[in-house]
């Protein structure tokens, strides 16, 4: 799929680049060229129509190319062009070949191209789309997450792009936050394991990234998701002990696993924007964690140090603050003021050229590893793009993500009966995919139809449940239409699918977790018809359902399951798929009581002086099945920890349907130097158990799994007594000397 143009460019530079070390390349570069390598611009700057106003079909603008590569020597480009959307792999390669040819004609080394491929190849037409990361976390299956990332890398490379701005390792502990669906949930351990799987899938298992994988980008370092208000890019107030205990571990693990790049938190921590915080970007990231890769800003975030955060009186000071803090590359992305200002700062002596060299060297090393400085991508083909195997992986991930929260015998639906599927999701592809789907916000239904591979719920019901007579009226608003009432009257049971308008970042901000009064009244009107009611929730984040939960006889949380989610859901409703998803967050019962499962003991005290204050709608790790799993008593290999102790127990499938169970291991530090949590997840395993059979799960526990961050901000394991829990059942005491 790589064209002759790219092959020719690679051949031209191959001998020279291979003969030269990065240091010698760097020594030959002018200051303008070095700063150009630190600059990343949006594709729309290079095409006819200009920034965020591209003319379709996209065509490169020769004058814009000359400015970017001839004058400013820009080294990186990103995005699908602000204001544009998905393109075929052939179109992607044509555009990127043109960009590379222009760069080469101006004497530049190849451009590093980056993209947001968040739940599959977001901006490549007819590519494979998986559930959004929150849904992936609900599978509690790291093998599925790794495979999904591997497929995403393959299809992103098929489009000529070697750098992916994913995974999001921010914790989803603030459900108001517009990007919660991009996270792997609220828990440190779950997020860490899913993040490690994603990085391995993106970058591959070998030490070097090959031509079928991409450089991963961990984001957003650090504490981005912890905004107090829940609004995007707003302040987080975190003590160092808090961010070390909760928000740092997923990043630290992924860095140690070899993640190549990191994107910076767009917000601030306790009054200091992270883009201007050398304590975070240098002292912590470089010196303590030993990160050797590239640090890139988020969209326009250096300028925002002046415009929004107001810690810099002008753009020049903003650039100075960010570069001295530790930023390597500026996602500028729409002009070249960054270049002019940084060059001036170096020439005036306010920033040393050695500081610039450090960043450029890291960027060149990344380009070299990705094969951009040598002849490595020789006539590569991508025959498995959007293959049946890839679709199967996405479908299985969607199946295992679906989380059954309630079932009073309604599900699975019996064949040879009539059913109604109502609600706004029925005929929509955008509401099942969410943002980062063919367009940034994912709200373009026409784009989803043109570029996607999925079918709507209505289509899936007709295709995959021919023995179930589903009626799927078009949604006309939150008032029962004539068609709705007719479908309900004929149905033996009703399914209502609620959705949430796709959105992310600032456009995805919400004022409340509450459902609208119109949605609540709509559900009440359906329930008043007297038929068994199944609610299916396609939400960006947990919305409050306490008022309508009693009206439903079954509830399925579907997250944002992607193009193949409708098939997975229909299979689940009719019993061909046994739901095995488990919540990766604590589902709040009210908007004013967001308390996480790993709460402190004081959060259990109720206004009636009992210890029953913790009453979520559904607990973290919760999920039902169509079969029954019985957990035997947990056993420990020793009641005293020296190096390693093993926890094990037997799980029996005592029901009549094969199924997956998620074994979850928790610990509680009974007394500690800082207030301990009621419980913390320390291990998990998803196991398949045929009906009537049993499996024994076994977990190794070492001292690090029982650690905490003490008052001196050090991670330590303190001596004392711990309780070890298996799936919230029986507990065993463990002494740590």
Longest dimension (CA), the chain: 80
Contact status, residue 338 vs residue 332, Cβ threshold 8 Å: yes
Burial class (CB in 10 A: 0-12, 13-18, 19+), 28: exposed
Spatial separation of the C-alpha atoms in residues 541 and 583, rounded to whole Å: 12
- Number of other CB atoms surrounding residue 152 within 10 Å: 30
Distance CA 156, CA 140 (A): 25
Nearest-angstrom CA–CA distance, 436 and 434:
7
Name, in order, each residue with C-beta under 8 angstroms of 478's C-beta and a sequence gap of 6 or more. 516, 518, 519, 521, 522
Q: Which residue has the tokens 């912590």?
A: 284
* DSSP class of 537: E
Active site residues: 298
Structural contact between residues 109 and 436, judged by C-beta atoms closer than 8 angstroms? no
Whether the CB-CB separation of 120 and 451 falls below 8 Å is answered with no
308 burial (CB, 10 Å; 0-12 / 13-18 / 19+) is: middle
Q: Report whether 142 contacts 193 (CB < 8 A).
A: yes
**Which residues share a beta bridge with 218?**
262
**C-beta atoms surrounding 205 within 10 Å:** 10
The CA-based angle 555-401-455, given to 5 degrees, is 85
Q: 720-726 and 659-669: which strand pairing?
A: antiparallel
Q: Tokens 């921590």 identify what position?
A: 269
| CA–CA distance, 435 with 132 (Å, rounded to integer) | 9
- Give the residue ranges of DSSP H helices in 179-268: 188-203, 240-242, 249-256
The two beta strands, 644-653 and 629-631, are: antiparallel
* Positive or negative torsion for Cα 445, 449, 451, 454: positive
363 in Cβ contact with 328 (< 8 Å)? yes
């Amino acid at each position: 799929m790589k064209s002759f143009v790219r092959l020719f460019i690679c051949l031209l530079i191959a001998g020279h680049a291979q003969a030269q070390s990065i240091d010698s390349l760097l020594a030959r570069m002018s200051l303008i060229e070095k700063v150009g390598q630190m600059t990343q611009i949006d594709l729309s700057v290079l095409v006819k129509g200009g920034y965020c106003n591209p003319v379709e079909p996209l065509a490169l603008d020769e004058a814009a190319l000359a400015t970017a590569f001839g004058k400013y020597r820009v080294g990186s480009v990103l995005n699908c062009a602000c204001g544009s959307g998905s393109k075929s792999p052939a179109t992607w390669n044509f555009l990127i070949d043109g960009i590379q040819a222009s760069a080469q004609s101006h004497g530049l080394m190849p451009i590093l191209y980056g993209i947001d491929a968040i739940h599959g190849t977001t901006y490549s037409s007819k590519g494979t789309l998986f559930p959004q990361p929150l849904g992936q976390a609900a599978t509690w299956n790291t093998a599925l997450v790794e495979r999904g990332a591997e497929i995403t890398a393959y299809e992103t490379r098929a489009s000529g792009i070697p750098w992916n701005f994913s995974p999001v390792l921010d914790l989803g502990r603030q459900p108001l936050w517009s990007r919660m669906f991009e996270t792997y949930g609220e828990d440190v351990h779950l997020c860490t394991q899913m993040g490690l799987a994603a990085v391995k899938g993106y970058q591959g298992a070998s030490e070097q990234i090959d031509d079928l994988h991409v450089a991963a980008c961990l984001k957003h370092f650090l504490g981005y998701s912890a905004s107090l208000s829940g609004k995007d890019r707003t302040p987080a107030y975190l003590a160092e002990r808090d961010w070390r205990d909760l928000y740092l571990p997923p990043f630290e693990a992924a860095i140690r696993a070899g993640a190549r790049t990191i994107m910076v938190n767009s917000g601030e921590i306790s009054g200091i924007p992270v883009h201007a915080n050398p304590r975070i970007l240098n002292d912590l990231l470089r010196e303590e964690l030993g990160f050797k890769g590239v640090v890139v800003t988020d969209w326009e975030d250096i300028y925002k140090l002046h415009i929004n955060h107001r810690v810099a009186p002008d753009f020049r000071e903003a650039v100075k603050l960010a570069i001295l803090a530790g930023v390597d590359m500026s996602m500028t992305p729409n002009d070249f003021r960054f270049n002019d200002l940084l060059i001036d700062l170096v020439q005036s002596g306010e920033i040393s050229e050695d500081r610039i060299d450090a960043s450029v060297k890291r960027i060149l090393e990344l380009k070299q590893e990705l094969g951009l400085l040598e002849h490595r991508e020789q006539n590569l083909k991508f025959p498995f793009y959007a293959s049946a195997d890839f679709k199967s992986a996405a479908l299985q991930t969607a199946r295992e993500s679906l989380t059954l929260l309630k079932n009073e015998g309604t599900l699975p639906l019996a064949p040879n009966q009539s059913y109604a599927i109502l609600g706004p999701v029925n005929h929509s592809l955008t509401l099942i995919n969410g943002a980062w789907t063919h367009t940034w916000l994912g709200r373009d239904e026409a784009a989803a139809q043109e570029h996607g591979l999925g079918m709507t719920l209505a289509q899936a019901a007709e295709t995959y449940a021919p023995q179930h007579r589903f009626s799927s009226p078009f949604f006309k608003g939150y008032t029962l239409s004539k068609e709705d009432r007719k479908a309900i009257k004929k149905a033996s049971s009703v399914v209502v699918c609620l959705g949430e308008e796709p959105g992310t970042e600032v456009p995805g901000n919400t004022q409340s977790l509450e459902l609208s009064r119109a949605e609540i009244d709509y559900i009440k009107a359906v329930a008043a018809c007297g038929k068994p009611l199944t609610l299916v929730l396609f939400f960006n984040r947990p919305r409050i359902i306490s008022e309508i939960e009693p009206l439903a006889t079954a509830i399925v949380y579907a997250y944002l399951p992607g193009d193949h989610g409708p098939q997975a859901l229909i299979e689940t409703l009719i019993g061909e798929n046994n739901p095995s998803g488990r919540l990766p967050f604590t589902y709040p019962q009210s908007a004013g009581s967001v308390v996480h499962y790993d709460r402190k003991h004081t959060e259990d005290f109720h206004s009636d002086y009992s210890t029953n204050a913790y009453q979520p709608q559904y607990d973290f790790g919760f999920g039902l099945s169509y079969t029954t799993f019985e957990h035997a008593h947990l056993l420990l290999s020793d009641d005293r920890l020296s190096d390693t102790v093993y926890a094990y127990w037997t799980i029996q499938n005592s029901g009549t349907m094969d199924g997956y169970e998620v074994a979850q291991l928790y610990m509680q530090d009974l007394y500690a130097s800082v207030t301990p949590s009621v419980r913390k997840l320390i291990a998990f395993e998803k196991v398949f158990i045929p009906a009537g059979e049993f499996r024994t799960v076994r977990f190794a526990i070492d001292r690090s799994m029982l650690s905490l961050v003490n008052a001196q901000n050090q991670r330590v394991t303190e001596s004392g007594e711990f309780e070890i829990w298996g799936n919230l059942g029986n507990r065993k005491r463990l002494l740590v000397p």
